[in-house]
Structure 1
Amino acid sequence: MPETHAPPSALPAPAEKAAHVRRMFSSIAPRYDLLNHVLSLNIDKLWRKRAVNRLGWERAPAGTYLDNCAGTLDLAVELAKRKAFRGRVVGSDFTYEMLQNGVGGGKTRGVPIGPACADALALPFPDQSFDGATVGFGVRNLADLDAGLREMARVLKPGARLVILEFTTPGWQPFRGLYFFYFLKVLPLVGRMVSKHSSAYTYLPESVMNFPEPPELARRMEAAGFSGVQWETLSGGISALHHGTKTG
């Protein structure tokens, strides 16, 4: 019998993940926003609004908030532009080009956002610095998910909330079948054409399918120091929104 081989994976080895992710996002940064909105049919904007609604920022409207793995700062802007918000948002990401694209595009003009190029596994902030934190589509890219969750717990004040918005996969048919056709066939093709990157939009579906399911992510948030963790799926299960409160 002829020997068969599995198709090559776009996922890097764990030891190489951080460097791989940084190179990939540096390359696609100029077209990242366009592809996000086109490939999600602009649903991602509604998800970000829901994430900020779950942050509970109204309890400290003049506080300091962290948007971790901030990318091009869309989620940070969603909070900073809220009418009653009088605080400050730190948008932290370890890919300089992503932050540069967000700032250079003018979206942060006139809003209280400070970009910070930093590693999510070793944040350069003191303990208990922030009144709340968000992560939009970033935790699955961490080289060590549990270490990243513990680091976010470290920089949050007791009683502060962490909100995580991340892709997941729908569980009900026939939507699940249609979704996987789009996610595994259409999205990588369009992504390659627009971004000119050979593997970034193959990495995306593979990273989602290899990421913990929502109940497991909730459990790991609790293990990292968050209580009252809740989650909900959005848009038929395309994404999941988790939130929990820093204990201690």
Structure 2
Amino acid sequence: MALSPEEKAKRVRRMFSEIAPRYDLLNRLLSFGADLRWRRRAVGLALERRPARILDLATGTGDLALLLKQTAPGAEVVGADFAPPMLELARKKARERGLAVRFLEADALALPFPEGAFDAITIAFGFRNFADYRRALGELHRVLAPGGRLVILEFPPPPKGAFGLVYRVYFQRFLPLLGGLISGNFGAYRYLPESVEAFPPPETLKALMEEAGFSVRYELLTFGVAAIHVGDKA
């Protein structure tokens, strides 16, 4: 039975709150470290226009927000997420690294920011967890200033061909087992491949972003395992 948007939001918030202590370790292990390269590429694209105000939405434990601040120390960076345990870890990291990033709790479908509040918005591996993609894109477009940029780094459905077949076996069988053993939450790591399989393919996400008012391009990373969509607001 399909979950309602409200039920999906509650389920995702609960899962990510539970796996917060092992979230960073599992990201490195399960992507073989490739997520670090992907994040650096996303940061480079987000900073191309030298934004002064940046929102990292679905910030999790703050990796991308902190990388943005480290790369562009003069920019104001805000990290937002709806899982408080993730935010506590992000704040701890920021203190340890001496980086002035503000982290706050927020829902992507009703962002607590005025219209045009940010020059750039980034989302790394969180967009597919939103309960309503169209509504989220509408909110993102609203809080972006004219000329602002949205950068979405996400896992599309596994690519076709031999590589895609091997990757799908890894993603559907090995990853949930390893993630469950390390985190103690098998359900969360069964949800991950399920959510990726159900996520729109890159062309469909591009069309959704264009429908929301963005001018969009995208690139595939590591044989299509990940994708970055760049949406510019006119």
Shorter-normalised TM-score: what interval? over 0.9
Offset at 1:94? 0.8
- TM-score of the two chains, using structure 1 as the length reference: 0.90
CA distance in 1, matches of 2:29, 2:49: 34
Tell me the SS of whatever aligns to 1:147: helix
Offset at 1:177? 1.2
Offset at 1:98? 0.7
Among 11, 27, 31, which residue is 1:36 paired with? 27
CA distance in 2, matches of 1:64, 1:156: 10
User: Is 1:47 paired with 2:38?
Assistant: yes
Equivalence for 1:178: 166
Write 1 or 2 for the structure with the bigger share of helix: 2
CA distance in 1, matches of 2:111, 2:53: 15
Among 49, 59, 62, which residue is 1:59 paired with? 49
Can you give the 5+ residue segments of structure 1 that lack an aligned partner in the other structure?
A: 1-8
Larger radius of gyration: 1
CA distance in 2, matches of 1:17, 1:151: 19
CA distance in 1, matches of 2:37, 2:179: 21
Q: Is the 8 A contact 2:157 2:198 kept in 1?
A: no
Q: Is the 8 A contact 1:77 1:108 kept in 2?
A: no
- Match for 1:32: what amino acid? Y
Q: Is the 8 A contact 1:77 1:107 kept in 2?
A: no
Equivalence for 2:65: 76
Among 67, 78, 81, which residue is 1:90 paired with? 78
CA distance in 2, matches of 1:178, 1:107: 41
Q: Is the 8 A contact 2:176 2:186 kept in 1?
A: no
Q: Is the 8 A contact 1:188 1:202 kept in 2?
A: yes
Aligned residue pair count: 234
Q: Is the 8 A contact 2:60 2:87 kept in 1?
A: yes
CA distance in 2, matches of 1:107, 1:208: 33
Q: 1:15 to 1:87 in 2, by over 3 A?
A: closer
